Each structure stands twice: as C-alpha cells, then as structure tokens.
Amino acid sequence: MLWRVLLSAPLAVVAAVPGTPAAETPTQSERDPSREISGGAEMATETEDDGTAAQQGHGQPGGRDDDGASALVGVPPPLALSVYEPMYFIVGGDEGFNAKFQISLRFRMFDDQGPLAQRLPWIDDLYLSYSQTSLWDLNELSSPFRDTSYRPRLFYSHDDLLRFDGGRVRLGLEAGFGHESNGRDGAESRSTNMLYV
C-alpha cells in the first residue's frame, strides 16, 4: 500500500485594489489568448464598436481598468519564498511501514524593484534554496530516521533566457553551487560539493 501527497503547486498572490470591484482570477486554461504579459504589466486588446482594436494597460502607471478606474496594482513580482523541488510525503513499504518525505524551498535574495536590482538587473535572479529528504522507519517502536540528506544551494536562475516558435518554447538557465550532506561526522559522514549548470 502506498500513499503519496505531492505539494509542488506554485504559490499565488492575488491583490485587490480598494474602490474597484473584485474580479475572478481565471485559471491558465481560461485565460484570454489576446492578453499577454509585457514589461511587467498586463495588456488587453479589446474591440471597439467600430471594429478597431483598443489596448488598455492594466497595472501600468496611468493605465485604466475596464471600469475606467486607474490601475494601482500591476502584475505582482515573483514571490520571494517559493517551492523549489517537488515536496511530497510517501507512506508504505513491502516489509513494514516506512515513509519518505521531502521539503524544498527557495528564497529570492533581491527584490527586482530594489535600488541594487535597478543598478544590476541580473541580481534579482539570485536565489538561496534548502531541500531536505528523509527516510523514516515507522515500523520500529522509536520510529527512527534512517537517513536524511540536507541540500543548501546558492544559484542564479533565469526562466526566460530565450524564446522560440513565437514564444511557445522557452529556454532557461540555472547555475550555481550546491552542497549535500547527511549531517553526520566521522565514518558515517557523507558530503558532496558541486558546481552545476
């Protein structure tokens, strides 16, 4: 018997502007293909009564929403703390009752609107991450952890380095320094340092 819980869904933040009506947030499959993200602001193309297209900037300074009110909040920046590798908890086993679980978070070190990121635009793609994978023996009376791996990393990650085929195919880059250890010393120590791309 095997149960698995996977918690790798991206986190989302929805901001409401005081004085404007609340709008439902469409899912990825319901989004209008005429909308695109450009320069940190959402652009919508709408057709006027005479058949001409009118663009409205949502979230841009001076842009207007559908109800004519000025937009105060643009597209939010990426969250500073987010899921890095898949997070899961698995229970089961052939000989006894065991569990394996992993937690993994990443932290964006610099805000893209901060003064340092304004001078050095690439710096807002620097991250610290921490991942931990543990094997837990639930069959024993004391329920000991049989093995745990700790994996801190410092890395650069840019998800949208190049676009191909009209933006449908993207090429990203992740490069950095990682360390993996079981946290023990002496003969039971296991440790690896790596540079990766």
* Residues classed as catalytic: 179, 181
Which amino acid, 107? F
At residue 114, the 3 state secondary structure works out as coil
Distance in angstroms (rounded) separating the CA atoms of residues 52 and 155: 47
- With H, G, I as helix, E, B as strand and everything else as coil, classify residue 95: coil
Residue pair 82/106 in contact (Cβ under 8 Å)? The answer is: yes
Retrieve residue 22's tokens.
């609340």
CA 92 to chain centre: 29
Query: Helix, strand or coil for residue 96?
Result: coil
d(CA 168, CA 151): 33
According to DSSP, residue 70 is labeled: B
